[in-house]
Amino acid sequence: MSTTYYMPTNDSGKADLLDHLANNLTHYQTALAISADDIASVLADALSFRYTLQSMFNMQAYGQAWTEYKNLSRDGALGFTAATWPAAPLLVLPTPAAVLPGIIPRLSSLVARIKSNKNYTSAIGQDLWLVGTYAPIDPTTWKPILSLQNNAGHPTIVWTKGDSTAIEIWVDRGDEAGFVLLTMNTEPNTADGSPLPPVGTSAIWKYKAIYHYHDAQVGQWSDVISVAVSN
């Protein structure tokens, strides 16, 4: 039976594979002649890459917050009695050690050595997620990572699909109604074309989302992101 390539095509999938190998390679250390240095390298790469992804998303959201603040500062209605700068993002702690470039080439080289070992079997490959067709899907670990873009004053919620079927997005428009369902989408990204606040006023809109798999909610809710909107 033919199989798909084991290496995920997106950064989130690559981070998941690194995490999985970091947690499971020790089970086959002796059988596959995996050195302690190999295991330490995979662990360091997994921690560094996951940290890099999360920090990148945080900084992108921070940059978007400054764009929204700039627009509000430039064009917002008169009458505000106070103003605050966008809150700086908090880096995830603890901070792992930085690693040398080439995380995925290092991983590919290690996987090639593992697969060439005389003790390697398809069952081991499946357990380590090294056989693409058999890589397990665990929706319970999924958590959307959202960011925002501005399109003619209207927010666009940016997200990735991965292996999910759809995403369920909720919005809180600061009108005391709390979070209400905005939409269900099967393909990224999601524009919020709802009417903007009345001319001369502004509001803070907040968004959160959760993935769907086979028509059911799965995993965890995303972190809440917010944006200032005005007309």
Q: Which residues of the chain have pLDDT under 70?
A: 1-4, 81, 132-136
Question: Into how many domains does the chain fold?
Answer: 2
Same domain as 168, residue 56:
no
Cut 0.75: pTM above it: no
Domain boundary among the residues 101, 136, 171 is at: 136
Question: Nearest CA to 164 among 128, 140, 182, 148?
Answer: 140
In this prediction, residue 4 carries a pLDDT of 55
Domain boundary among 119, 136, 153: 136
Q: Do residues 97 and 163 share a domain?
A: no
Name the one residue in this structure whose structure tokens are 């020790």. 26
Quick one: 115 and 203 in the same domain? no
- Containing structural domain, residue 117: 1-136
pLDDT of residue 1: 34
Q: Are 139 and 211 in contact (CB under 8 A)?
A: yes
pLDDT at 57: 84
Predicted local distance difference test score (pLDDT) of residue 107: 96
Domain boundary among 77, 110, 136: 136
Q: Do 96 and 77 reside in the same domain of the chain? A: yes
